[in-house]
Amino acid sequence: MSVLTAIPLVLKSRQLTTLRGRILLALSIALIITLIFSAGIGAVEIAPMRVLELLATPPWSAAWDSIANEDIQQAMVLWNIRLPRLGLGILTGASLAVSGAAMQALLRNPLAEPSLVGVSGGAAVFAAIGIVLGGSWMAALHAVIGEFALPAFAFIGSLGVTVFIFAIATRQGRTSVALMLLAGIAIGSLCIALIGLLTFVATDVQMRTLNFWSLGSLGAATWPMVGMVACLSGTSVAILLRQTGALNTLALGEVQAQLLGVSMRRLNRICITCIAMSVGAVVSVTGIIGFVGLVAPHLVRLAFGPDQRLLMPASAFVGAILVLLSDLLARSIAIPVEIPVGIITALLGVPFFLALLFRMRSRIGL
């Protein structure tokens, strides 16, 4: 249009992009600092500078052999215990936060969260079924796909619940927050009951695993686990982050999103699968760590607004930082006892949830 070409183009959108870049850069720096500090805290203390030095000498490098004898314990702790745990923490926080943000955009309300609506519960139940009742099946599956056997089970549960929640909460393009939350309560209770039921047929070892699931913990982290979650959740999160533009249009409702050229069927399918996959993978190794998907996007929205293009990547960083800090608290407030991290995130998250509920009380309705 002639009017448009006559006016010199303002650089506003480029400024927006650089602003987005700066915020994400700042958050990633915050994440790295959190990582370095929490890597040093625990039963074996390592100073932050020492953490950096040890990070520069990985076990596969020649420098590893030259580490002094009195330092080798620190190096072992860092590389074999702390780092896989922190890696799993970052992946967990990022996947739960991004999945939460995506669910909130799809269901058009800020209360949708994987653990609240039962998606994490579904994943935990199926993973538990895999462990307790899987028997020789599970063993065979494990022989073929190794670390991926458990998340495969969990995925069935998380996908089933996600599809169910979407089916029950949305009708003719509108979402009922009340129905979503009520269905979530029902599914949540069912999952607790089922896991409880499984404890009666479980062996002692299995029972410990089951307990840890219902509360959530990063304590069992190993490198292969981190690799598996990085593969599954990493891919899902990457795909979800590509949908941000389309998810934005959903703020106007499904009808308008469709009229704006977004294929809702396709978007729903992609997002539901990715949410189920990333939550399933995480839950299969950490158990239910709740509220991260609620708190992280909410904090980002408060600080930088609702634009999904910034909200989702920023939530990934904030979620990772939240989980790292919660885990730090979980393993350091009652040394030598370790509190499940899920308890900490619930203690932090419930007030947030109630505050949100209070603000939305006029809009929820039954």
Q: Which residues bind other proteins (CB under 8 A)?
A: 1, 3-4, 7, 9-14, 16, 108-110, 244-246, 248-253, 255-256, 258-263, 301, 305-307, 309
CB of 164 to other proteins, least distance (A): 22
Residue 93 beta carbon to other proteins: minimum distance, rounded to whole angstroms? 22
Nearer to other proteins, 248 or 345 (CB): 248
Least gap, CB of 259 to other proteins (angstroms): 5
Angle at 284 between CA 166 and CA 313, to 5 degrees: 60
Interatomic CA distance for residues 183 and 204, integer angstroms: 32
146: left (phi over 0), alpha (psi -120 to 50) or beta: left
**Cα–Cα distance, 210 to 48 (Å, whole number):** 35
**Is the omega angle on the peptide bond into residue 151 within 30 degrees of 0, that is, cis?**
no
- Between 185 and 255, CB nearer to other proteins: 255
Question: Which of 120/248 has CB closer to other proteins?
Answer: 248
Q: Considering the complex, state which of residue 280 and residue 293 has its C-beta at the smaller distance from other proteins.
A: 293
- Of 18 and 61, which CB lies nearer to other proteins in the complex structure? 18
For the record, the structure tokens of 185 come out as 């309560």
Please report how close the Cβ of residue 356 comes to other proteins at its closest, in angstroms. Answer: 12
Nearest distance in Å: CB 173, other proteins: 9
Nearer to other proteins, 218 or 299 (CB): 299
Q: Tell me how far, at minimum, the Cβ of 243 lies from other proteins, in Å.
A: 9
C-alpha–C-alpha distance, residues 293 and 215, integer Å: 16
Tell me how far, at minimum, the Cβ of 105 lies from other proteins, in Å. 8
- Give the integer Cα–Cα distance in Å for 244 and 22: 18
Give the C-alpha distances (Å, rounded to integers) separating 259 from 249, 254, 264, 337. 10, 9, 10, 56
| Residue 215, CA distances (Å) to 186, 208, 218, 219, 235 in order | 18, 11, 10, 12, 26
Q: Name which of 145 and 251 has its Cβ closer to other proteins.
A: 251
Q: Which of 78, 72, 15 is nearest to 45 (CA)?
A: 78
And the tokens for 78? 């860092």
Cβ at position 167, least distance to other proteins in Å: 20
The answer to whether 84 and 221 are in contact (CB under 8 A) is: yes
Tell me whether residue 72 or residue 255 sits nearer to other proteins (CB atom): 255
Q: How far is the CB of 316 from other proteins (least distance, A)?
A: 17
**Residue among 189 and 263 whose Cβ is closer to other proteins:** 263
The 3-state DSSP class for residue 156 equals helix
Q: Where are the alpha helices (DSSP H) in the chain?
A: 2-6, 12-40, 48-55, 69-76, 83-107, 119-133, 135-145, 149-169, 177-201, 204-215, 223-241, 244-249, 254-259, 264-286, 292-304, 308-332, 341-364
